[in-house]
Structure 1
Amino acid sequence: MSKTLQNISDDTLILTNAKGTFSSTLAEYTMMACSYFAKDLPQLLKQKKNQQWKKYNILELRGATIGIVGYGDIGRSAAKLAKAYGMKVIALRRTIPSPEAIQHDPYCDVVYDTHSLNTLFRESDYVLCSAPLTPETYQLISQEQFDHAKENLVFINVGRGPVVDEEALIAALKDGRLKGAGLDVFVTEPLDESSELWKLDNVLLSPHNMDQTDTFMLESTQFFVEENLPRFLHGHPLLNPVDKKAGY
């Protein structure tokens, strides 16, 4: 079999993925992370533990702006929920769609290309990173973006850890350039016990499991067996083809 595969050119070998299977749960996590900081959930938990009745002001998500780096299936699913909360949505895309396509997108208000990454950070109250990891996106988000961040910005990453310069992120969380971060992915997984992220009070941290539902493996397998495999056998176009040059 290995010899057979070696004789297949890149143009002949077709790859597909299970895009869409994990989007809804990651979108739900995104909104939970936004609310975690808007309502100051750590303060609530601390007061409950201390049996302390103390009122404090909170923030609304309504009227806030969320910038989405990587406006694919996950990004659009998050944008849909953000719109339901009354948020403004800014999307960053590798390629800008036609004006007609932008106009007919009910979930996105503004679309920027990758040259406007600093602008997105400057205009957003929350930034969601849902970009894939490719040579072009490696450490796409670095100190430069955190230096341009709007005051009290919350950064959320559900894409891939190496898309972010993790040391620059830690520095921005420690010195106040960022209000907080919701992180489900990291440069090294499992996250090393020595990482400062474990000890930062302004970090919501999860072990890359926010897409791990009871049915996620079943759903991705069913998609392949019930949808793409019959399409392949009948010579029909496959769903979710991978662009090998783009890397996703």
Structure 2
Amino acid sequence: MPCVVLDMMDRRPIWAMPDWVSEHIRDALPASWTLEVVEEETDGSGDGSARVSEHILDLVKEAEVYFGYGVPSEIIDVGSRLRWVHSGASGVGSSLTPAMLASDVIFTNSAGVHAPPMAETVLAMLLYFTRGLDLAVESQRRSEWSTERFYIADAPLLELSAMTIGIVGFGGVGREVARRVASLGARVMALKRTPVPVEGGPVQLTGAEGTMVAGIEMVWGDSGLDSVYRECDAIVLAAPDTPKTRGMIDADALNRMKSGVIILNVARGRLIDENALVEALSRGRIRGAGLDVFTEEPLPSDSPLWALKNTVITPHVSAVTRRFWKRETDLILRNLSRYMGDSPLEEWENVVNKKEGY
């Protein structure tokens, strides 16, 4: 009898899997299929759990489909019947093991599911700097009513409608950021690695309620990245961690950016050379940095990033939301319908390109 293994019982209470998730999946399965729900807690943080118990491996041996947080190599090793694996995480780095790369198993992830709260975290961090809240917090900690830095001629206060926001990586998170900042009047320049099916210029994005938002200027390649560095007042990193993106924000990149730029990273910590960022922040070359992800996590207590007044640091929690399971379950059910209907892979959502790493 064909089997689906559901291994997504997250240990974190806010992301604990509701009972209705397994009920919806079971209802979507043909009568001849079974659903095995793993009751053991797993770790859905980062790219997903690295642990696999013998009980789970025994279930996977009989499974055709596996839903988990990440896909450890042992799953692929023992799952001789597996045809499709899905990760509740967006990142796939830890799942792209030699076993996964060598297999012909379909691999999907949850890119985009986490996008709305991540985009709102970006917006909060952006406004933190554009409205000088970092200056206000500094004065508050000293119990000091201080207005001088707000009134000086070159006060670091900006309005979004006068800003150009660069978005590096135009997947689910990048698009949600674009919708929000464009609706507030910002000019948006979005970078993709390869050209999109438009000949440059503005493209339209549908807003959350079906309304159209201002045009997004699409750029790509090295020339596009140079335009982002040269023209943007704030740069949002929303790209995956791949060999091509790793360390892309280094000293050279920082020096090519506009003076006073704001850098916001909710993607992956390894996209930034943190030593170069600290140096640029310390000398005022960068207005501020909003960071949710880091090269090493947890961020070491002796990292100079903690002490800088022009950083806002969150502990890799930009995706946290109580609404995760509705979007995640809907994604699983849509692809499950495609799987059962033998739909061509081109019609699926979130199929991971194992070669490219995202």
1:223 aligned to 2:315?
A: no
Structure 1 CA distance for aligned equivalents of residues 308 and 217 of structure 2: 33
- Partner of residue 48, structure 2: none
Relative to 1, partners in 2 of residues 1:175 and 1:247: Cα closer, same or farther, differing over 3 Å? same
- Partner of residue 339, structure 2: 232
Structure 2 CA distance for aligned equivalents of residues 54 and 225 of structure 1: 52
SS across alignment from 2:112: coil
Q: Deviations over 1:60-100 (max 9, x none)?
A: 11120111111111111111111111111111111012335
Shift of 1:224: 5.0
Matches within 5 A, 1:10-159: 10=102, 12-48=104-140, 50=143, 52=145, 54=147, 56-57=150-151, 58-100=157-199, 103-106=202-205, 107-159=215-267
- Partner of residue 313, structure 2: 205
Matches within 5 A, 1:159-174: 159-174=267-282
Shift of 1:215: 3.2
- Partner of residue 214, structure 1: 322
Rg (Cα) greater in structure: 2
Shift of 1:228: 1.9
Q: TM-score, normalised by structure 1?
A: 0.89
Determine what percentage of the aligned residue pairs are the same residue: 33
Structure 2, unaligned runs of 5 or more? 1-60, 62-76, 83-97, 152-156, 206-214
Structure 1, unaligned runs of 5 or more? none
Letter in 1 for 2:173: I
Shift of 1:9: 8.0
Structure 2 CA distance for aligned equivalents of residues 35 and 183 of structure 1: 14
User: Contact 1:92–1:114 (CA<8 Å) still a contact in 2?
Assistant: no
Superposed structure 1 runs of 4+ greater than 6 Å apart: 5-9
Shift of 1:47: 4.4
Structure 1 CA distance for aligned equivalents of residues 265 and 326 of structure 2: 23
Shift of 1:245: 1.4
Relative to 1, partners in 2 of residues 1:36 and 1:214: Cα closer, same or farther, differing over 3 Å? same
SS across alignment from 2:107: coil
1:243 aligned to 2:350?
A: no
Shift of 1:18: 1.4
Structure 2 CA distance for aligned equivalents of residues 157 and 243 of structure 1: 23
Shift of 1:219: 3.4
Relative to 1, partners in 2 of residues 1:122 and 1:103: Cα closer, same or farther, differing over 3 Å? closer
Relative to 1, partners in 2 of residues 1:232 and 1:175: Cα closer, same or farther, differing over 3 Å? same
User: Contact 1:21–1:219 (CA<8 Å) still a contact in 2?
Assistant: no
Structure 1 CA distance for aligned equivalents of residues 171 and 101 of structure 2: 28
Q: TM-score, normalised by structure 2?
A: 0.63
User: Contact 1:170–1:197 (CA<8 Å) still a contact in 2?
Assistant: yes
Letter in 1 for 2:168: V
Shift of 1:142: 0.8
Relative to 1, partners in 2 of residues 1:59 and 1:7: Cα closer, same or farther, differing over 3 Å? closer
Relative to 1, partners in 2 of residues 1:65 and 1:78: Cα closer, same or farther, differing over 3 Å? same
- Worse-superposed segment, 175-184 or 236-245: 236-245
SS across alignment from 2:229: helix
Relative to 1, partners in 2 of residues 1:111 and 1:7: Cα closer, same or farther, differing over 3 Å? closer
Structure 2 CA distance for aligned equivalents of residues 98 and 20 of structure 1: 20
